[in-house]
Structure 1
Amino acid sequence: MMNNLFSIFDPVNFMNLSLNWLSSLIILLFMPLMYWFMPNRFFMLVYKILFTIHLEFKMLLGKSHHKGLTFMFITLFLMILYNNFFGLFPYIFTSTSHMTLNLSFSLPLWISFMLYGWINNTQHMFIHLIPQSTPAVLMPFMVLIETVSNVIRPMTLAVRLTANMIAGHLLLVLLSNSIANLNLLMLSIMLFIQILLLTLEFSVAFIQAYVFSILSVLYSKETY
């Protein structure tokens, strides 16, 4: 039974090609060239959201951040958001429910942050390993704990996004499988519950993209 449930997250192979991964590029179909030249309500809404997020990222990074760094995190936010959002539609593959894609986001970011920090700000990176006012006896343990927490950061970012996207989809699938054997009253109640869950999943899609990008911003700030 568990294999059947998790099979909805498996890419469909055609001639040894996982064509479902192309759904990650579905955003290109919703942003034609005219989107960039003719302001409309959708454009203004997206612009307002991105401008607010840009200001928040800029505030978190501080005055010493490199120019244009916020645009990299906004792009990451948009990529995850669109993949989460379109994965809620029928017959569209949810690519962010796979560790393969999520680790490809988090691991290169974490490696680049670590390389930049240890090469350019070595002393600052050593300072982060020992919090202020730590007793001398606990310093070796704190270094070990901080090192482990630093190393597992890309894994926790990827697992958090994967688990949240899988959990909501599995719950919707489990509820939909039980609809066939229900009477009219219970069917109406179940449909209402599924609509509520789908609304919750839309908010989860946005929140998880925001959490992933905001944590990446905070991790980058520690390197300079």
Structure 2
Amino acid sequence: MKRTCYIGGKWVPMAEHAPLYSPCTGQAIAHVPQADAQAVERAIAAAEEATTVMRRMPAYQRAAILEKIALLLDERMEEAARIVALEAGKPIRTARGEVIRTVQTYRFAAGEAKRLHGETIPLDAAIGGEGRLAYTVREPLGVVGAITPFPFPLNLVAHKVGPALAAGNAVVLKPASQTPLSALLLAELAEQAGLPPGALNVVTG
């Protein structure tokens, strides 16, 4: 089955594909798109365009989207576990455990989206600071590039994508070449959860 990359809210085919083999059986389980430099530049441009929307999105909306991702993943737990087991070569019970943990990771990120605030600092430690306060404001970085390893493909992606979205950033995700299918599943879930186009882009290769 030929897969596509996810760029700017669209499933984009690539010219080149490579077979993905099961570590357990050696059989080909998918044909993974090999994103070229042009596709990566397109993903970065889509993420840059989405930063304006993400920056302006209120915390409760970012939290709601992350909660929805967690809910959708929980509903499709068995499917997600099978994908992880197939591409990473894990026992199905271990894969289920990873999916459970990943659901929690997105819920943690949803909670943090509402707690990303600065601090107030009294300035009266120095002469002339009486009755004055300084304050800090946290701002999104913009575009986050996430390159993830293979051992826990779903949860290690969540540890990068979840906090980045919670903080109002856009993401270009490049999953490990052995475990791209779970990342493409995440893109599908994020789209269903209402994440704005370009806020998450997945390029494989």
The TM-score with structure 2 as length reference comes to 0.36
Higher helix share: 1
- Whichever of the two has the greater Rg, that structure is 1
TM-score normalised to structure 1 length: 0.34
The structure that is strand-richer by fraction is: 2
